[in-house]
Structure 1
Amino acid sequence: MRLISLLRLAAQAETLRWKRTGRGVAIQAALGAGAAVFGLMLLIMLHVAALIWLARDQGGAGAALIIAAVDLVVAGLLGWLAARHAEDPIQVEAQRVRDDALRQVGDTASRAMMLAPLLRSRSVKKGLLGAAVTAAVVGFIAKR
């Protein structure tokens, strides 16, 4: 029963971890798309007005360079916001719970494998020897 409960817990933790990971990716994608749309609309709507306003004092080339510098700053800021990756504490905790449950499943299974030869054997010496050999093999595999 405990083995099944641990496996169920590990599966639930993994499901929660993937949901939270997907949520984080979706939020990053939405921020990136919003940044792209905002940047495009802002540039289209304001460029013409700014170019006309700046061209009076700076001339056409100077006005275009000033607008390009502002565009670069805005694009860099929005790109940085979209690229930043903050860890979700719930996702990290779900991964820890999953790892703990799977470790306990492995421990329970290895104990069962060590006791199986002892329970099957009719001779105590033979059963203890089989249990010791099984324990050594399981320990060797677990360390890999």
Structure 2
Amino acid sequence: MRLLSLARAAWQAEGLYLRRSGRGYAIQAGFGAAAAIFGILMLVMLHIAGFAALLPGMGPVWAALVVAFADLVLLAIFGMLARKPPRDPVAEEALALRQAALRQMGDTATQALILAPLLRSQTLKKGAIGAAITAALVGFFNRR
């Protein structure tokens, strides 16, 4: 019964972790999309600035360059926000709970494997030897 409750807790923790971390990645993708939009706008403004540079006079060029510089600043801000990995304390706690439940499931299964020869055997001596051999094998494979 304990094994099933641990499996259920691990399953629920995994679902919570995936839902919460997915939300963070969606926000990160939104910031990346905003950075891409401002990058495209910056390129458009640089093209307008180049075109305006060919025109006589200095007014349109400087205005276009100022707008392009503002787009560059916004591009840098949104780009840095998109690079920052999402941190959600609830998702991290769910991941820790899942790992603890899986570790306890492994411990419970190991205990069952060690005790199985004792419960199956006809004599205590033969069961103790089987349990010792099983414990040695489980310990050997856990270290690998």
TM-score (norm 1): 0.80
The residue that corresponds to 1:26 in the other structure is 26
Residues 31 and 79 in structure 2, CA contact (< 8 A), matched pair in contact too: no
Deviations 1:94-136 (A, max 9, x none): 0100010011101111001001001111121111000000011
Q: How does 1:5-44 map to 2 (within 5 A)?
A: 5-37=5-37
Letter in 1 for 2:6: L
Post-superposition offset of 1:35: 4.1
What is residue 133 of structure 2 aligned with on the other side? 133
What is the distance in 2 between the residues matched to 1:124 and 1:142? 26
Distance (whole Å) between structure 1 residues aligned to residue 75 and residue 31 of structure 2: 13
Asked if the contact 1:43/1:71 (under 8 Å) is kept, the reply is no
Q: Provide the rounded CA distance (Å) in 2 between the counterparts of 1:106 and 1:141.
A: 12
Instruction: Please tell me whether the aligned partners of residues 17 and 94 of structure 1 are also in contact (alpha carbons under 8 angstroms).
Output: yes
Q: How many residues align?
A: 139
Contact 1:114/1:135, CA 8 A, preserved across alignment: yes
The letter of the residue matching 2:86 is: A
Aligned to 1:118: 118
Q: TM-score, normalised by structure 2?
A: 0.80
Give, in whole Å, the separation in 1 of the partners of 2:41 and 2:71: 12
Deviations 1:55-112 (A, max 9, x none): 9984555444444333222211121122211311011100100010011101111001
- Aligned 1:1-144 pairs, distance under 5 A: 1-37=1-37, 58-59=58-59, 61-144=61-144
Seq. identity, %: 53
Question: What is the root-mean-square deviation in Å for CA atoms of aligned residues?
Answer: 3.0
After superposition, the C-alpha distances for 1:18-59 in whole angstroms (9 at most, x for unaligned) are 1111111111112222444466579879x97xx98xx99845
User: 1:35·1:78 contact (CA, 8 Å) conserved in 2?
Assistant: yes
Q: Distance in 2 between matches of 1:65 and 1:41?
A: 12
Q: Which runs of 5+ in 2 are unaligned?
A: none
| Structure 1 gap ranges (5+) | none
Structure-1 separation of matches of 2:44 and 2:64: 13
Inter-partner Cα distance in structure 2 for 1:121 and 1:136: 18
